[in-house]
């Protein structure tokens, strides 16, 4: 199947998310009640853990988190161009991405690709667009679509070959394929602290861009193609 996909029709992406508020105490009353209920479910095996202790995890849930960076990559022959949309204002990021998808990725052969994208990136983006009142681009509006009509690729899903039992990290796959790891500075679990405590959005952007590069290189290895040399990678 991958042989039939044109590399230059795929938009590779990665998102970084954080809780909507710096700390649990800042949550509006109604949302705090909702998080308390969610935390009970998360801590069902450890009921002694208070909801505020779990709040750092809120960023992985679209109902309680927000996107602070979306990095995208696109291939042109043997060159890779990387662009990032980053802001403290989530709506700005999502509007910029929506404009790109409406303009350049609305053709019949357009595709999106992410690692664990089917479970995380794609639905998270779609949900946050709806929350922000942004019209879904066609490539994200998959309600009622048949499986073969959904133009989403997932480098983790492709690695499963029908095996649904386990999660395989991007870091592990880049290691076994001899691709430079994107986890040489921070990891996903540290994004909350880097954003809310260090106020270092640029560091998160760099981390997000490295993930996109790794996803592209892994996709090319899946296709049996050569990876992109570092000197052919451009940050726009």
Cβ-count burial of 161 within 10 angstroms (0-12 exposed, 13-18 middle, 19+ buried)?
exposed
What is the sign of the dihedral through the CA atoms of 148, 154, 159 and 160?
Answer: negative
Q: What is the pLDDT of residue 58?
A: 96
d(C-alpha 13, C-alpha 27), whole Å: 30
In which order are the strands placed within the sheet that holds 233-235? 152-154, 111-114, 10-19, 65-76, 79-86, 233-235
Cβ-count burial of 133 within 10 angstroms (0-12 exposed, 13-18 middle, 19+ buried)?
exposed
- For the segment 87-132, what is each residue's pLDDT rounded down to a tens digit? 999 999 999 999 999 999 999 999 999 999 999 999 999 999 999 9
d(C-alpha 193, C-alpha 200), whole Å: 9
Q: Look over the chain and give the mean of its residue pLDDT values, rounded to a whole number.
A: 94
Q: What is the pLDDT of residue 48?
A: 72
Domains and CATH numbers, the chain: 2-14+72-235 (3.30.420.10), 21-63 (no CATH)
Q: Global pTM?
A: 0.95
d(C-alpha 215, C-alpha 156), whole Å: 10
- For the segment 152-173, what is each residue's pLDDT rounded down to a tens digit? 999 999 999 888 777 899 999 9
- For the segment 18-60, what is each residue's pLDDT rounded down to a tens digit? 999 999 999 999 999 999 999 989 887 676 788 999 999 999 9
Query: Are the C-beta atoms of 179 and 218 separated by less than 8 Å?
Result: yes
Q: What is the pLDDT of residue 166?
A: 76
- Among 3, 16, 13, CA closest to 152: 13
Average pLDDT on 139-163 reads 93
Q: What is the pLDDT of residue 56?
A: 93
d(C-alpha 236, C-alpha 187), whole Å: 23
d(C-alpha 103, C-alpha 225), whole Å: 28
- For the segment 200-218, what is each residue's pLDDT rounded down to a tens digit? 999 999 999 999 999 999 9
């Amino acid at each position: 199947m991958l042989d039939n996909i044109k590399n230059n029709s795929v938009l590779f992406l990665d998102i970084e998310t954080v809780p909507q508020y710096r700390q649990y105490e800042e949550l509006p009353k109604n949302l705090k009640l909702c998080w308390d209920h969610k935390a009970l479910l998360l801590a069902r095996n450890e009921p002694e853990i208070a909801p505020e202790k779990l709040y750092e995890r809120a960023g992985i849930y679209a109902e309680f988190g927000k996107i602070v960076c979306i990095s995208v990559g696109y291939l042109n022959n043997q060159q890779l161009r990387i662009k990032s949309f980053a802001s403290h204002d989530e709506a700005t990021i999502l509007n910029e991405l929506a404009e790109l998808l409406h303009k350049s990725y609305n053709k019949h052969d357009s595709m999106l690709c992410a690692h664990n994208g089917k479970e995380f990136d794609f639905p998270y983006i779609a949900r946050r667009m709806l929350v922000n009142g942004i019209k879904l681009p066609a490539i994200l509006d998959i309600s009622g679509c048949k499986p073969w009509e959904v133009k989403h690729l997932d480098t983790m899903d492709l690695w499963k070959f029908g095996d649904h039992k386990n999660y395989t990290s991007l870091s592990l796959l880049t290691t076994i394929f001899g691709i430079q790891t994107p986890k040489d500075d921070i990891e996903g679990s540290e994004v909350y602290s880097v954003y809310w405590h260090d106020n270092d959005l640029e560091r998160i952007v760099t981390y997000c861009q490295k993930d996109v590069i790794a996803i592209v290189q892994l996709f090319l290895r899946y296709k049996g193609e050569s990876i992109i040399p570092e000197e052919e990678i451009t940050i726009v």
